[in-house]
């Protein structure tokens, strides 16, 4: 008889990446719970999302990270907690840590995955105004470790849905028509991940002992390419060449100082500093998702771009 699947609570399940995590958890057969402030929200879009959750078998638990009692109660119900809360709430994950500590006194707790999707913050060369948020994520990581809470940290790099619809050009919308804007020399390797695949790899790792107390890195070979390679891929698909306009690091830094923008700071760290791929994964503290789960058929960048043809 197969062992029972672990029960997963997702906090922030109605958010951008949270929806993909909820979907993957259900698809992979886990009893799935979503913490929601309002089970019957007036926001029609959110109400529809919650109805879709319920229709797929998700159990909605009313609660809030700012309501300690409800949070502890929800955590006592499950084995694993995944936080997918937004950019402006990452510091408040200290409240989840406190609730996990209290709930753990009653029920053995398997693992906590903080809202850590994106660059590996421990290897980031990040400028302000994004540095402050990265520093908070580092602080949350160290706190989890110091409290002895079992964890996995997820470094999925770029969301394809955010970076590929405009061919990863900073400050533009839509695909290029004549020119392509490239930061740096365009030769730095970058990782783009389909959000469905981020959900799949994350959920497969939640109770995998190989990913316990480690960083789960997502670096599929088919999705690791330079900006120049990305542009060439698109040019081959559309049968057209584009003028490539390069911005030096000096130009990018001038723009960043003149008009501070967290997205530009992240693009600088990725396309110029190479923060997705400029370090080797240390097997003592990290694992790579496609190596752990070679059976998963992930969506390549080549395949992903076909939807924009």
Q: Which residues are catalytic?
A: 137
Distance CA 143, CA 298 (A): 33
Classify 109 as helix, strand or coil.
Answer: coil
- Enumerate the β-bridge partners of residue 107: none
Hey, how many other C-beta atoms are within 10 angstroms of the C-beta on 17?
A: 23
CB distance 48 to 72 below 8 Å: no
Q: How far is CA 104 from CA 81, 92, 227, in A?
A: 12, 19, 45
- Exposed / middle / buried, residue 250 (Cβ in 10 Å: 0-12, 13-18, 19+): exposed
Closest C-alpha among 290, 263, 89, 272 to residue 204: 290
CB distance 301 to 307 below 8 Å: no
What Rg do the C-alpha atoms of the chain give, in angstroms?
20
Backbone φ/ψ region at 209: left (φ over 0), alpha (ψ -120 to 50), beta: alpha
- E-strand spans in 175-309? 179-183, 189-193, 214-217, 224-226, 243-247, 286-288
Q: How far is CA 253 from CA 31, 168, 188, 240, 277, in A?
A: 47, 18, 17, 31, 21
- Exposed / middle / buried, residue 128 (Cβ in 10 Å: 0-12, 13-18, 19+): middle
Distance CA 275, CA 169 (A): 17
């Amino acid at each position: 008889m197969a062992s029972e699947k672990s029960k997963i609570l997702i906090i922030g399940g109605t958010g951008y990446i949270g929806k993909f995590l909820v979907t993957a958890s259900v698809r992979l057969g886990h009893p799935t719970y979503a913490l929601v402030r309002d089970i019957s929200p007036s926001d029609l879009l959110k109400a529809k999302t919650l109805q879709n959750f319920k229709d797929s078998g998700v159990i909605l638990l009313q609660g809030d990270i700012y309501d300690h009692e409800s949070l502890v109660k929800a955590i006592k119900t499950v084995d694993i907690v995944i936080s997918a809360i937004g950019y402006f709430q990452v510091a408040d994950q200290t409240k989840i840590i406190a609730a996990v500590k209290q709930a753990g006194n009653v029920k053995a707790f398997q693992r906590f995955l903080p809202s850590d999707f994106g660059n590996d913050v421990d290897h980031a060369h990040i400028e302000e105004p994004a540095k402050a948020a990265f520093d908070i994520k580092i602080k949350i990581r160290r706190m989890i470790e110091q409290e002895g809470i079992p964890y996995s940290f997820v470094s999925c790099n770029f969301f394809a849905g955010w970076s590929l619809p405009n061919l990863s050009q900073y400050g533009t919308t839509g695909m290029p028509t004549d020119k392509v804007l490239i930061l740096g020399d365009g030769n730095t390797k970058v990782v783009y991940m389909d959000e469905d695949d981020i959900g799949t790899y994350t959920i497969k790792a939640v109770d995998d002992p190989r990913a316990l107390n480690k960083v789960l890195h997502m670096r599929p070979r088919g999705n690791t390419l330079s900006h120049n390679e990305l542009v060439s891929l698109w040019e081959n698909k559309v049968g057209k060449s584009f003028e490539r306009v390069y911005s030096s690091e000096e130009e990018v830094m001038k723009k960043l100082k003149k008009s501070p923008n967290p997205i530009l700071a992240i693009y600088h760290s990725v396309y110029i500093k190479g923060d997705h791929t400029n370090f080797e994964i240390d097997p003592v503290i990290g694992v790579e998702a496609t190596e752990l789960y070679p059976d998963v058929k992930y969506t390549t960048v080549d395949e992903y771009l076909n939807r924009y043809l």
